[in-house]
Amino acid sequence: MSERIPVGVLGATGMVGQEFVSFLENHPWFDLTFLGASDRSAGKAYREATTWRLGGETPVYVRDIIVSDSVPKGGPTLMFSAMDASVATEIERAFAAAGHTIVSNSRNHRMETDVPLLVPEANSQHLELLQAQQRLRGWNGRIVTNPNCSTIVLVMALAPLKQFGIKNVIVTTMQAISGAGYPGVASLDIVGNVVPFIGGEEPKMESETQKILGDFAGDRIEPLAAKVSAQCNRVPVVDGHTICVSAQFEKKVSEDELIEAWRSFRGAPQLKNLPSAPAQPVIYMDQTDRPQPRRDVERENGMAVFTGRLRKCPVLDYKFVALGHNTVRGAAGAAVLNAELMKAQGLL
């Protein structure tokens, strides 16, 4: 690829925006040249408009870029959206209407009928929804979304098992504080504590999973018929959502077959050798006490999902543990992988 594609990030000064900035540094295909934010930040250099909350300091390659406001008037065609849900609906639509391709991490459009909720390893064919989207909305541009940061862990663990007929899923999450942005969770709420509630998270996990694992049906997705039940908790972990899953299948399946299904699973990102694709998207660990967020979340550049502890469930068929990086595979990295897939499919 001789020339890098200019890209922008909308909502660039927030926590998720910073994660995009961090993830896109040295990207082989995408050249981050546009940083959009609110009017309050527009006109300032990025380093001045932003209090950098991630490790180290504001990356040099964006320090001096002047932040733009979030109105479509030029800028790169490809825009990642890291905007807060309170503003994302209107701005994303305005940019799409103006011909931009919005690859969004915001939740606003995920469940709309004609918007792909894309996990490239699981449902790359959902990109075909874009034809209906453009036709129905009269847009030159389009909107593609990635799932919620807890959904992605479940979906990546379930996608290789879809072949066995997923029937019932009960999942309990133990989610990292970085999933709530900044300032996000107050330390007085979480140090030495568990908070057994995350606003809106459980319905999202339940419905997004059904859509992602559903089938493309012309101008909409036929959701997976499985029932999904989620209980979501916040725990004092910095990065990495750990989930405990019990699942029931239509077909009779052995432990070895499940493990083999995870280990041999490859999707579009692996087949097309996308730059951010993990070589093996789901890694089953044999150790009795793994995966663990602090020890495993940074592996594979944060883009793989780890499973472990597969064993019989006395109520459903099997139970197991899964782990994924909520701000990488569950946010910025997910969106970038989505854009890479679109590029590889000639959609950019």
228 binds a copy of itself (CB under 8 A): yes
Take residue 140 and report the two structure tokens written for it. 């030159």
25 binds a copy of itself (CB under 8 A): no
Residue from the set 2, 26, 254, 288 that interacts with a copy of itself by CB under 8 A: 288
Residue from the set 85, 225, 315, 347 that interacts with a copy of itself by CB under 8 A: 315
CB 322 within 8 A of CB 307: yes
Per CB under 8 A, which region of 61-69, 101-109, 215-223, 296-304 contacts a copy of itself? Answer: 296-304
Neighbours of 189 (CB within 10 A): 13
Question: Rounded to an integer, what distance in angstroms lies between the CA atom of residue 287 and that of residue 137?
Answer: 50
Known catalytic membership, residue 100: no
**Beta pairing class for 227-234 and 241-249:** unpaired
Known catalytic membership, residue 149: yes
Q: Which of residues 320-339 bind a copy of itself (CB under 8 A)?
A: 321
Question: Rounded to an integer, what distance in angstroms lies between the CA atom of residue 28 and that of residue 144?
Answer: 21
- What pairs with residue 221 in β-bridges? 216
Q: Across the chain, which distance is largest between two alpha carbons, in Å? A: 61
Q: Residue count at the site for a copy of itself (CB under 8 A)?
A: 61
Q: Which of residues 192-221 bind a copy of itself (CB under 8 A)?
A: 192-197, 206
- What pairs with residue 222 in β-bridges? 215
Q: Which residue carries 């305005």 as its tokens?
A: 94
166 binds a copy of itself (CB under 8 A): no
111 binds a copy of itself (CB under 8 A): no
DSSP state of 260: H
Q: Using the Cα atoms of residue 123, residue 253, residue 174 and residue 24 in order, give the sign of their dihedral.
A: negative
272 binds a copy of itself (CB under 8 A): no
Residue from the set 38, 236, 272, 345 that interacts with a copy of itself by CB under 8 A: 236
Q: Give the Cα-Cα-Cα angle 48, 54, 59 (nearest 5 degrees).
A: 55
CB 306 within 8 A of CB 322: yes
Q: How far is the CB of 289 from a copy of itself (least distance, A)?
A: 4
227 binds a copy of itself (CB under 8 A): yes
Take residue 31 and report the two structure tokens written for it. 């050249």
Identify which of residues 85 and 191 has a Cβ nearer to a copy of itself in the complex: 191
Q: How far is the CB of 239 from a copy of itself (least distance, A)?
A: 9
Q: Which residues contact 255 (CB under 8 A, 6 or more apart)?
A: 310, 311, 312, 318
189 binds a copy of itself (CB under 8 A): yes
Identify which of residues 274 and 310 has a Cβ nearer to a copy of itself in the complex: 310
* Catalytic residue, candidates 109, 149, 232, 325: 149
* Catalytic residue, candidates 100, 109, 241, 325: 241
Question: Rounded to an integer, what distance in angstroms lies between the CA atom of residue 61 and that of residue 1?
Answer: 21
Identify which of residues 206 and 340 has a Cβ nearer to a copy of itself in the complex: 206
Burial group, residue 287, by CB count within 10 angstroms (0-12, 13-18, 19+): exposed
Q: Which of residues 39-98 bind a copy of itself (CB under 8 A)?
A: 53-57
The residue ranges that bind a copy of itself (CB under 8 A) are 53-57, 168-170, 172, 174, 177-178, 182-197, 206, 227-229, 231, 233, 235-238, 242, 244, 246, 285, 288-296, 298-299, 308-309, 313-316, 319, 321
Catalytic residue positions, numbered:
149, 241
